[in-house]
Structure formats: structure tokens, C-alpha cells
Amino acid sequence: MAKALIFAGGSGRRMNSGSKPKQFLELHGKPIIIYTLEHFEYHEEISDIIVVCIKEWIEELQGFLRRDGITKVSKIVPGGATGHDSIYNGLQAMKEEADFNEVVLIHDGVRPLINAELISQNIEAVKRYGNAITAEPVRESVVRSADGINISDVPPRSHMYIAKAPQSFYFGDILKLYDMAHNDRLKTIDSSHLCSKYQEPMHIIISTKNNLKITEPADFYIYRALYEALESQQVFGL
């Protein structure tokens, strides 16, 4: 069995959504965070879930969990100032109940377009390789520039991937890295970035298509269109 750590501690300043954080924006009467949690709730290999949430919205989240029948959430932890801090807070809370040899999947609360197969692949890859970084091959050329003006390099597209989520590890391994970063006062973009800073080998799992992170207003409308297209495929057997 594995555990899930879902971090949803951001306020979504880029969303221009008024006072409502992006993870609580609703589609068909259900917030994004619930759509994300359902993938882990219904997966037979996930034993429990820890959610990192904006402190002022924890009570609201608890209400949605009860209403929508999400029962695997064992703990809700206040988020930090950054995504790095939120993951660190979640891992510290997980210490009370997790075995160091358990698999933990770290996932964005605003990435609802994943599936059970991707979760299973992450768990299997951790058991086989020690970790799993969900990633997507780039579809366009990537350029390198140190000053934002001059291009110094155009790496081969076949060598380039975009890191997504879940990003999965043995609990003891990822806890150690975040503790090291905390002591070194190092802040990273995500867990793959943290691994690279400490030169930890990583293994790629190819992402599902459309594994979108809802960050800006356009992302929400793209998500809505993709969700409704997927629903139509299921209804009409397309």
C-alpha cells in the first residue's frame, strides 16, 4: 500500500478569482481539489491521504470531504509560504504514521486530469527504481538563455521533458532530502528539482495526456473543456 500527499496550499494569485483559491474553483458544483482527491480515494493501492491546505480554508475542505464521500484523508495540514514549504509541512505530519519504507506519491491539488494507471505506474516504479518522476516529452523546441535576451543553446527535443506529477518516493528517502534542504535553507520548485540539487538519480514515468496544472484563468477553461470531452467519450463510448 502507498500514501498520497496532496499539496493545495497556494492562494492562486494568478487566477484573478477574487477571494477563492484556485483549488476551490468549482466545475459542475464540485471543487477542483475534490476531482483530484477522487483519483487517490478510489485507487485500491492508496491507503490514506494527507492534504496540505490553506489554513483559512481547512474547514471548507472538511465540508467538501464529508459531502463528496472522501474517506481516506487522514489529516489536513496548514500550508506554507511556498509549494516547497507545503510539501515539507505535509511530510513532517506524515512522520507520525508513515513507515520509512512506504511509498508516498506527492501530487498537486490542482492537477485533476490523471488516472488510476498513472498512480499504479508511479507505485511500481518506486518499488523497482527507488522513485518516479511523472514527465511529458516536450512538443516544441526548448532554448536556453542566461539573460533572457541571447540564446546560448537549443538542446535536442528528444532529450527534453516537462516534469509533472505525481512525483513518488520511498517516504524515508524524500523526508531526508526535505530535511536536508530545510537545514540548508534551500527552497526548490518541486521534488524533482530537490533531487537534482542533491544529485539523486531519478526515473521517468511518462505522463498521461493533458496532465494540466491549473494555475491561470485560461487553464481552468482548458480543464473544463477537456473534462467535458472525457465525459462525452464515456457516455457515448467514443
106, three cell numbers: 506527492
Tens of pLDDT, residue by residue over 121-151, are: 999 999 999 999 999 999 999 999 999 999 9
192-232 pLDDT, tens digit each: 999 999 999 999 999 998 999 999 999 999 999 999 888 87
Q: What is the model's pTM?
A: 0.93
Burial group, residue 75, by CB count within 10 angstroms (0-12, 13-18, 19+): middle
> What span, in angstroms and rounded, lies between the C-alpha atoms of 61 and 31?
9
Show the domains of the chain with their CATH numbers. Answer: 2-133+164-236 (3.90.550.10)
DSSP class of residue 150 equals S
Q: Using one digit for the tens of pLDDT, what is the confidence trace for 81-115?
A: 999 999 999 999 999 888 999 999 999 999 999 99
- Beta-strand (E) ranges in the chain? 2-8, 26-27, 30-31, 46-53, 73-78, 103-108, 131-137, 161-170, 204-206
